Amino acid sequence: MLNRSRWSCLQAGRILLRLLVSTFLPSGALVFGLDDTIERRRGEKIRARGMYRDPVRSAQSHFVKTGGLRWLSRLLLTPIPWAQRVGALPFLTVLAPSESFRPHYRKRHQPLTRGAVQLLLQLRRWLPDRDLMVVADPSFSAFDFLTRLQSLPRPIPCVSRLRLDARWFQPPPAPGPHRAGRPRLVGARLATLQHALAAQDTAWTKLLVPQWYAAVAREIAYTAGTAIWYPGGFPPLPLAWVLIRDPLGSCAPSALPCTHPRQTAPQILAWFVQRWQVQVTFHEVRAHVGFETQRPCSDLAIARTSPILLGLFALITRLAHGLADGAKLPISGAAWYRKPLPTFADAIALVRQRSWFNLDSFVSSSDTQMLKIPVPLFNRLAEALCGAA
């Protein structure tokens, strides 16, 4: 099935996306997450393997590299009723190989942002009548990436994070009646956000964000505005920007650009905090689904295995949603650890339990109380195994 059968991961992702949209968001705008993750792999026969920055072990003070495969994933950001939070459900994942991999196929190296544009164009073809929104990390705050999304007949707005010293300008003035030459593209240059952060006259507004990092409510201060981003050599890009800072000083200031200039600052912040659920999903697939434990070495099997495992996370969440009783899931806990809300571990345990007990593997009559062990003990052991990682 992985290295010989003929089937398309692209079509499988389309079917999974339709299933997720019809279940969680049948109407309204759709918010998608875009991010890449590194699968640590070793092996001389893995030709797509490269050396990348390890986002887990690296920090601002030191840089750590790791060898493996880089995957670019599209995730649907949708509220999960039984979890009472926003979940990131991956439905389409493609391999983004290193530059040393391309000479084997005599192809030019494709940057990560160009592959992301192709995924979003495919997403627009799949959902031509829905309003789409993209939330991405700073790797995708490239000017050519954002301008390509805005140049579509039906643009796809994007919220990301940008450096504080970007070149921003005012709108161009209206041309005079006797002015010759081409009209101006931008107006006067604005002060950088780094200058606005240090200025004493900057007006800050406090806002309580209910779902900050680690799902903890936190009060932040922000200032917002509109500008035109124009690095030169490209068409100018109108933006709405939000500059946030932590009054407690525990988080570094961040600049959040949005390619939809009419969006309000609270809405941009609400979209931005949803991006952190993507990292939660990547952690869960490593802990429960078996990501980074696969061992195929052929190119076709490698290109299929990881997308299947990431898509399995979304499929399990969808199955658990159908099995939830009144938007509630049974929560497994221990004497030393109590969870207020169910997690993905509870969801996969419920799906395993219903799948195992629905199998027609018992040939004894229904009134038999002894198989090899007592039935209550057997059920208790099966429930314990359902919750195993």
pLDDT bin (cut points 50, 70, 90) of residue 87 is very high
- Can you name the residues that pair with 72 across neighbouring β-strands? 36, 94
Tell me what pLDDT residue 281 has. 94
For the segment 35-61, the average pLDDT, to the nearest whole number, is 83
Per-residue pLDDT tens digits for 16-44:
999 999 999 999 899 999 999 999 888 88
What percent of the chain is predicted at pLDDT more than 70?
93
pTM: predicted TM-score of the whole model, two decimal places: 0.89
pLDDT bin (cut points 50, 70, 90) of residue 222 is very high
- 269 near 242, Cβ under 8 Å? yes
Tokens of 169: 């300008």
DSSP 287: I
Tell me what pLDDT residue 134 has. 95
CB count in 10 Å sphere of residue 263: 18
Tell me what pLDDT residue 25 has. 92
Tell the burial category of 267 from Cβ atoms under 10 Å away from its Cβ (0-12, 13-18, 19+).
middle
Let me know how long the chain is. 389
- Can you name the residues that pair with 118 across neighbouring β-strands? none
Number of Cα atoms under 13 Å in the Cβ half of residue 164:
12
For the segment 127-151, the average pLDDT, to the nearest whole number, is 91
For the segment 263-287, the average pLDDT, to the nearest whole number, is 91
Per-residue pLDDT tens digits for 287-319:
899 898 888 888 888 888 999 999 999 999 999
> CA nearest 82: which of 354, 351, 322?
322
- Can you name the residues that pair with 207 across neighbouring β-strands? 220
For the segment 121-148, the average pLDDT, to the nearest whole number, is 92
Number of Cα atoms under 13 Å in the Cβ half of residue 133:
19
Backbone angles phi, psi at 104, to 5 degrees: -65, -30
Give the integer Cα–Cα distance in Å for 30 and 134: 9
Q: At what angle do helices 344-357 and 375-386 cross, to 10 degrees?
A: 140
Tell me what pLDDT residue 109 has. 75
pLDDT of 275 above 70? yes
